[in-house]
């Protein structure tokens, strides 16, 4: 089970390891060259896969304890999502790692050769958030291991059951000389950030993203920042609003809206807005029944702080459906707000919860202006039948990803880079893009000594 290491974490039987000693220990392993061979990388990925399959239920239990995450959702968006990413990597890794050559014969003669080779970086730090606390931790870890790095794994303290499960399970399946889990909150992360890493991969909010980047700058360490923001959904006139409403509800209310790429708000014209309000009310009832609190397909808010924050946003605009809350169980009903004005509280911050405001605009021109007046979002969605609308949105706006017709689906395509731009992040991962993120593509030129 333990993939190619000394048994268990014997380096540290009596409590948390000092961060400097921990990084030194992992770096020493990296410098032996042990993590470079394809066989080691495959063993780690296979180990991770085994952990996810053998402990599906344990992980789903932990996700339920942390977020009331419905079991089907836990499998779909965390466990199986991570397994699919690992499988895709296992299938393609050898090809992704193969050196590429360029022709230099015209410059240096027939016997000269040149190309690039893909080198691991060294010791990587992965810091994960609480909303998809397994997937957003394990998929970057898989990428860092596939690229041949040693990894310090930092789960979110705000998802304590998942954090504990990962800390317990990961060392049983991975090379503990090269992979270590550090649990904890701000003090522990701050202590880690003082160390020199070869890459830091952070998923979370922009405020902490800045802290991470500042700390990284001290060591000239490259960073990937997977951040959030308000992802708009433009609904064109003349579309099938029932179908749009079903797809919007599915994306918005999964994980009780606590998804970085969830549609944050809708932009549409006044007539479509009216029809959409009715259709969303029906779509929510169809999905979660008359009382979503009783539905086993609906999650809860992560903690009281976020519950209180979200409750404060429910007064914006006009209540179309939902609005019920229960602090004891951290329940907030799937809620739609109509006729919301751009300066109301719900439009001033990333919602990150089950509240969907509809903002009315005259049409595409105003929608594009509205989007471009704000921070570049992590995703932009649009429902339209018009190619010209697609092309204009693609050409005239900037966002991490662009999805027509099916919100959030782009991130399940491993060949597509997943990442933000501007305030929504820096860098990308998934599939081959993880290899690029966690590797250095080294230029290599070989000119013979004799002619
Ligand atoms: P969080 O509070 O769990 O924080 C993420 C990590 O940062 C944790 O491991 C935490 O320990 C660490 N951290 C927190 N404060 C710190 C500090 N002062 N110094 C050092 N480390 C610190 O997660 P969050 O930020 O609440 O997550 C929600 C945000 O993340 C939203 O903005 C969301 O859009 C974004 N997000 C983005 C993605 C993406 O893939 N782009 C995915 C999920 C969430």
Q: What is the 3-state secondary structure (H, E, C) of the chain?
A: CCCCCCCCCCCCCCCCCCHHHHHHHHHHHHHCCCCCCHHHHHHHHHHHHHHHHHCHHHHHHHHHHHHCCCHHHHHHHHHHHHHHHHHHHHHHHHHHHCCEEECCHHHHCCCCEEEEEEEECCEEEEECCCCCCCHHHHHHHHHHHHCCCEEEEECCCCCHHHHHHHHHHHHHHCCCCCEEECCCCHHHHHHHHCCCCCEEEEECCHHHHHHHHHHHHHCCCCEEEECCCCCEEEECCCCCHHHHHHHHHHHHHHHHHCCCCCCCEEEECHHHHHHHHHHHHHHHHHHHCCCHHHCCCCCCCCCHHHHHHHHCCCCCCEEEECCCEECCCCEECCEEEECCCCCCHHHCCCCCCCEEEEEECCCHHHHHHHHHCCCCCCEEEEECCCHHHHHHHHHHCCCCEEEECCCCHHHHCCCCCECCCHHHEECCECHHHHHHHCEEEEEEEECCCCC
Q: How far is the CA of 109 from the centre of ligand 1 (A)?
A: 52
- Mean pLDDT over residues 433-442, rounded? 98
Query: Is residue 383 predicted with pLDDT exceeding 80?
Result: yes
- The predicted-structure confidence for 406-427, as pLDDT tens digits, reads as follows 999 999 999 999 999 999 999 9
CATH architecture of the domain 19-227+425-446 equals: 3-Layer(aba) Sandwich (3.40)
User: Which one of 85, 226, 360, 423 is the catalytic residue?
Assistant: 226
- The predicted-structure confidence for 39-64, as pLDDT tens digits, reads as follows 999 999 999 999 999 999 999 999 99
- ipTM for the whole complex: 0.92
Atom number in ligand 1 closest to CA 418: 40
pLDDT at 11: 44
Nearest residue CA, atom 24 of ligand 1?
204
What's the predicted TM-score (pTM) here? 0.94
Query: Is residue 165 predicted with pLDDT exceeding 60?
Result: yes
Ligand 1 surroundings by CB, under 6 angstroms? 127-131, 136, 154, 156-158, 185-186, 189-190, 203-205, 208, 211, 226-228, 260, 350, 352, 378, 420, 425
pLDDT at 450: 85
pLDDT at 239: 98
pLDDT category of residue 14 using cuts at 50, 70 and 90: low
Question: Domain locations in the chain?
Answer: 19-227+425-446, 232-412
pLDDT at 74: 96
Report the CATH fold assignment for 232-412. Aldehyde Dehydrogenase; Chain A, domain 2 (3.40.309)
Look up 94 and say whether it is catalytic. no
Look up 260 and say whether it is catalytic. yes
């Amino acid at each position: 089970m333990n993939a190619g290491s000394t048994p268990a974490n014997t380096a540290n039987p009596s409590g948390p390891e000092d961060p400097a000693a921990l990084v030194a220990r992992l770096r020493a392993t990296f410098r032996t060259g042990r993590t470079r061979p394809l066989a080691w990388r495959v063993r780690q990925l296979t180990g991770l896969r085994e952990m996810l399959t053998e402990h599906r239920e344990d992980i789903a239990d932990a996700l339920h304890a942390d977020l009331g995450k419905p079991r089907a959702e836990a499998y779909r968006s965390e466990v199986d999502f991570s397994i699919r990413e690992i499988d895709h990597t296992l299938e393609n890794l050898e090809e992704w790692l193969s050196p590429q050559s360029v022709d230099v014969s015209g410059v240096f003669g027939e016997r000269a050769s040149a190309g690039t080779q893909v080198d691991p970086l060294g010791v990587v730090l992965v810091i994960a958030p609480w909303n998809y606390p397994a997937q957003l931790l394990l998929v970057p870890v898989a990428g860092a291991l596939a690229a041949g790095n040693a990894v310090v794994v930092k789960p979110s303290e705000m998802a304590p059951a998942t954090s504990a499960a990962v800390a317990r399970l990961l060392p049983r399946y991975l090379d503990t000389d090269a992979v270590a889990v550090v649990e904890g909150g701000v003090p522990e992360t701050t202590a880690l950030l003082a160390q020199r890493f070869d890459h830091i991969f952070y998923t979370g909010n922009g405020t902490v993203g800045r802290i991470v980047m500042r700390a990284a700058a001290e060591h000239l360490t490259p960073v990937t920042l997977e951040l959030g923001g308000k992802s708009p959904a433009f609904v064109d006139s003349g579309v099938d609003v029932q179908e749009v409403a079903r797809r919007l509800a599915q994306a918005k209310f999964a994980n009780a809206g606590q998804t970085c790429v969830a549609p944050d708000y809708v932009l549409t014209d006044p007539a479509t807005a009216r029809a959409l309000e009715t259709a969303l009310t029906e779509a929510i009832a169809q999905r979660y029944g008359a009382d979503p609190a009783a539905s086993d397909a609906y999650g809860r808010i992560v903690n009281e702080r976020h519950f209180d924050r979200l409750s404060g946003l429910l007064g914006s605009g006009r209540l179309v459906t939902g609005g019920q809350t229960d602090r004891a169980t951290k329940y907030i009903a799937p809620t739609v707000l109509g006729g919301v004005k751009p300066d109301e509280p719900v439009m001033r911050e990333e919602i990150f919860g089950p509240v969907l405001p509809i903002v009315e605009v005259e049409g595409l021109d105003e929608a594009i202006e509205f989007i471009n007046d704000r921070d570049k979002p992590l995703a932009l969605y649009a429902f339209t039948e018009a190619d010209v609308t697609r092309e204009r949105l693609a050409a005239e706006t900037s966002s991490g990803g662009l999805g027509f017709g099916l919100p959030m689906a782009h991130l399940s395509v491993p060949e597509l880079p997943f990442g933000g731009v501007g305030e929504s992040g820096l860098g990308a991962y998934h599939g081959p893009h993880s290899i690029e993120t966690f590797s250095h593509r080294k230029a290599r030129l070989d000119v013979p000594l004799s002619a």
